[in-house]
Structures are given as structure tokens and as C-alpha cells.
Amino acid sequence: MASIGQQLLDVPFPDMVFKLANAIAQGQRRLDRASLETARALAKLKVSVIPELYEVIEPGDVKTPNGSSVPVTGVKVTMDFADPVSYTLLQAGLTPTFYQFTESIIEVKISISQRTEVSTEFEIGADFETSTEVQAEAKANFFFFGGSSKVTTSSTFSSHVNYETSTKYTYSAEGSSLLRTTLKPVPPPPRLVPRVVTINALKSPPEITVS
């Protein structure tokens, strides 16, 4: 079993960082492509805008309402409007939103616990048992008097030894990883959004302005 330190070192950080960076690069490329496609579409679509409305206020007829001696000066308002101007949506002000990954975080959490329990039980016991048996016999008659006796002693000795050992090994590992990236809208790169070149042919020589 590898040590905990070694297991922590075995976490594939280089792979994770590479994969995250790769995913970000691919995502960024797709986002930029989508924004460029939007820019192309906005550059083609047109909208007509009436830039100005004209109100011409001129002196009108002087009238004297019935029953009144006070003359009222009237006005004549003439409305007109300029010809509609056709703009592309890009010129009009709609620009594609560009996004950029501004921050990426890889967080790896690993928790390893290892526990070893060793238990030993040792038991020793001894039994000692002794017994004594006495047998006595007496005989007597007119001519004889006697007797006998017998003593029997027995001993037993027993002993036992119990030895028990157990080892319990517990290992658990928990891990989690978090990849977090922040995506923010950014101003369009100047080279990716078309410039508006205005050629004013009313002037001689024609005036060219780029915005």
C-alpha cells in the first residue's frame, strides 16, 4: 500500500490542468467563431431609419373669433421628414458580444484515512488438584490384635495457554475535484469588427473617414 503522501502525489494534476486549458481553448474558439458569425450577419442585415423629422413653424392667418375684438395670430406647422437612411445593424449600433475566460480554478480535495487496530489477548491458567484417601482397617480377636491402613494420595495438575491476536486494517479515500471558470463579456477585438469607412464624395477631393 502506497503511503498517503505518495497517493497525494499521484493525483494527475498535469493532466487535469492540460485538459482544462484545452477545454477553455476550444470553448474560446467556438465562442469567437459564434461572435464572428454574428458580426457577419449583422453586417448584412439592414435597417431603415428616418434620421430627422422637420417641423416648420410659420406665421399663420390672423383670425378674429366671432364675438371677439381680439385678433389671434395663428401659426402654420408643416411636417416633413428626411429620407430614410439604410444602415446595416452593425453600423446602427448592434455589435456581437465577445466573451473571454478570465479566470479558471482547479480545486482538488482528497481525504485519505488509514487506521490499524491490533488486539492481542493472552490467557494463561493452571489447575492443581490433590486428593488424599485414607483407608484404615482394624482387626482384633482373642489372640490377635492388628490392623492396616492405606493412604492414597493423588495429584493432578493442568494448565492452559490461550493466545489470540487480531489485526484490523481500515482504509478509506474520498476525493472531489472542482473546475470553475469565469466567462466575461469583453469589448470586441478591433481587428475582428469591420471598420466603417465613409467616403464623402460631396467634397473635392472626396473625404475619407474611418471609424
Partner 1 sequence: MTVQMFFVRPTSADDSTLESIADIVALRGGFVLMTTSDGSLIVAIDDEYADALRNSSLVDFASGVTLDLEGAAAEPLRRLFATNIATQLAARGWRPETGEVEDRFPPGYRPLRWTS
Shortest Cβ distance from residue 196 to partner 1 (Å)? 8
* Residues making contact with partner 1 (CB under 8 A): 34-35, 37-38, 41-42, 44-51, 84-85, 87, 89, 91-97, 99, 185, 196
- How is residue 39 written as a grid cell? 458580426
What are the distances in angstroms from CA 209 to CA 162, 199, 200, 206? 104, 7, 8, 10
- How is residue 193 written as a grid cell? 469588427
CA dist 50 and 42 (Å) reads: 19
Is the Cβ of residue 4 or residue 92 nearer to partner 1 in the bound state? 92
What are the distances in angstroms from CA 164 to CA 86, 118, 161? 97, 11, 10
Instruction: Write the DSSP assignment of 17-58 as a string of letters.
Output: HHHHHHHHHHHHHHHHHHHHHHHHHHHH-EEEE---EEEEEE
Shortest Cβ distance from residue 98 to partner 1 (Å)? 9
Is the Cβ of residue 8 or residue 199 nearer to partner 1 in the bound state? 199
Is the Cβ of residue 111 or residue 211 nearer to partner 1 in the bound state? 211
Shortest Cβ distance from residue 186 to partner 1 (Å)? 10
Is the Cβ of residue 25 or residue 196 nearer to partner 1 in the bound state? 196
Is the Cβ of residue 44 or residue 63 nearer to partner 1 in the bound state? 44
Q: Determine the distance from the C-alpha atom of residue 140 to the mean position of all C-alpha atoms in its chain, rounded to a whole number.
A: 112
- How is residue 207 written as a grid cell? 473625404
Shortest Cβ distance from residue 190 to partner 1 (Å)? 13
Is the Cβ of residue 29 or residue 63 nearer to partner 1 in the bound state? 29
- H or E, element range at 116: strand 98-140
Shortest Cβ distance from residue 79 to partner 1 (Å)? 18
11 Cβ contact partners less than 8 Å away, ≥ 6 residues apart = 108, 110, 175
Shortest Cβ distance from residue 29 to partner 1 (Å)? 14
